[in-house]
Amino acid sequence: MFESLRTTSAPWVCSCDGEHESPVSGRELSREALSLRRVRPNLKHVKGIRKAATVVLPIFVGLLLLAVCVHVLFSNDRTTQAQPNPTGTSWLLLATGSVAPSPSASFTPRASATATLPATPSASATPTRSGDPCRGAEFRAGQINGADVTAGSTSAVVKWFNPGSPTLVDFHILAVSQHLVYGRQPEIPGWVTVKSNGCGWMTGVVTGLTPGTPYIFSVDGMWTGMGVDGTHTRTVARSKVVTTALA
């Protein structure tokens, strides 16, 4: 190529100012060709740099963003851990003041009255009964005394007071069951007759009782008429409900 440039005739080259043209020698053309040949490798090098920058620049930007994110995360953790945990007693801000005086209550004294109590009566001795304890203790109509009962399983001992009377001949003791039974009622134990022996306490035993059954014991006295025939009875004592023991 360069040889051809050397052998050819000198071409005409237009000047930069455009006024006239000047011929160029072959030697000068060869120099220009060599300079162009030297410039071409530099252009290739520039293109390679551009391609490398196109690949490396996104990677660099990504690494930079990753570093920023890691820095932010670590800074948040440090901030969270660095927050102090309040311990100890709380502080109270107190302002010193003055105590307001309390209102004082005023009152006018009044004349006081002295309470007086009646004099306590002196204790007197308990009167004791003198004479015959059975005197005046005759049976009166409508008066029923209490009877004490000691019950076993099938029998009971009844104790009552005998007022005493010349016409009181004997007593009848009856045990009345308090156990409610539907239908036919069981037979009541028979009368127990006790002869009157004058004023005082008397006892009688009732048998034929049912174990574990509640009873009321009634004591009736029998009197004879003064100057008339026949007798009459009245209840002189009665017990509370007493339950016989279980067998």
Indicate the SS3 state at residue 145. Answer: strand
215 or 223, which is more confident?
A: 215
Task: Give 178's DSSP letter.
Answer: -
Residue 165 belongs to some domain of the structure: yes
Q: Tell me the pLDDT tens digit for each residue of 114-137.
A: 656 666 655 444 444 455 556 555
Asked if residue 152 and residue 72 are part of one domain, the reply reads no
| CB 243 within 8 Å of CB 212 | yes
Query: Within a domain: residue 181?
Result: yes
**Among all chains, which residue has been given the structure tokens 């009044």?**
110
pLDDT of 154 over the 80 cut = yes
- Closest listed residue to residue 234, CA positions, set 149, 106, 116, 142: 142
Q: What is the pTM of this model?
A: 0.44
Q: Find out whether 177 and 215 touch, Cβ atoms under 8 Å.
A: yes
Flag whether 228 is in a domain. Answer: yes
Spatial separation of the C-alpha atoms in residues 148 and 137, rounded to whole Å: 19
> Mean pLDDT across the stretch 173-188?
85
Flag whether 54 is in a domain. Answer: yes
**Kind of pairing between the strands at 156-162 and 214-224:** unpaired
Last residue of a domain, one of 33, 60, 80: 80
For 53-85, the DSSP string reads HHHHHHHHHHHHHHHHHHHHHHHHHHHHHHS--
Final residue belonging to a domain, choices 80, 98, 113: 80
- Coil, helix or strand at residue 244: coil
Please report the pLDDT score of residue 84 as a whole number.
58
Helix (H/G/I), strand (E/B), else coil: 4? helix
Backbone angles phi, psi at 136, to 5 degrees: 75, 10
Q: What CATH number corresponds to the domain at position 236?
A: 2.60.40.10
pLDDT digits 0-9 by tens, 21-46: 445 455 555 665 555 555 455 556 66
Residues 221-236 have a mean pLDDT of: 82
pLDDT at 242: 94
Give domain status of residue 219, yes or no.
Answer: yes
Same domain, 234 and 149: yes
Instruction: Report which of residues 142 and 163 the model is more confident about.
Output: 163
Residue 20 lies in a domain: yes
Give the model's pLDDT for residue 44: 60
Domain boundaries, position 9: 2-80
151 and 239 both lie in a single domain = yes
Report yes or no on 109 lying in a domain. no
DSSP state of 136: T
What digits encode the pLDDT tens for the residues 42-94? 556 666 777 777 777 788 888 888 888 888 787 766 655 555 566 667 777 77
Q: According to the model, what pLDDT value does residue 153 have?
A: 92
In Å, what is the CA distance from 34 to each residue of 1, 5, 44, 153?
A: 11, 12, 17, 154
- Claim to verify: residue 237 and residue 152 sit in the same structural domain: yes
Percent of the chain at pLDDT exceeding 70: 58
- Look at phi and psi of residue 124 and say left if phi exceeds 0, alpha if psi is from -120 to 50, else beta: beta
* 235 and 158 part of one domain: yes
Total domains, the chain? 2
Question: Which among 80, 96, 113 is the end of a domain?
Answer: 80
Within-domain flag for 135: no
